[in-house]
Amino acid sequence: MKYIKIKSVYSESISAPCLTEQKKEAKKRLRLTSKEIEILKKIAIGFTSQEIATIQCRSYHTVTTHIRNIYKKLSVNSRAEAVFKACQNEIL
């Protein structure tokens, strides 16, 4: 039996708005705030909590509180898990 491989090709101008909408929907489902998403992006890059605090002109404790909230909302226990789950849900 032979199989035919079908490949869909979409113009970026058509698919980009759809992907952006998917990311918005994922963010709504997980209810991450814009500040939590900012912090999650910095975690994905590899910044420490202290570095994030310095960059964002926030206290270390504020950043760690945001990180705890991210973990709780994503149901994870580590930075790596948080980044992985955010990527899976198209937040990052």
Mapped onto helix, strand or coil, the DSSP state of residue 92 is coil
pLDDT (tens, 9 = 90+) of the chain, 92 residues, equals 555 555 555 555 555 665 566 666 655 567 899 999 999 999 999 999 999 999 999 999 999 999 999 999 999 999 999 999 999 988 88
pTM over cut 0.85: no
* CA separation for the pair 29, 33 (Å, rounded): 11
| Beta carbons of 74 and 30 less than 8 angstroms apart | yes
Q: What is the CATH number of domain 33-92?
A: 1.10.10.10
* CA separation for the pair 3, 6 (Å, rounded): 9
Pick from 57, 61, 79: nearest CA to 70: 79
| Beta carbons of 63 and 49 less than 8 angstroms apart | yes
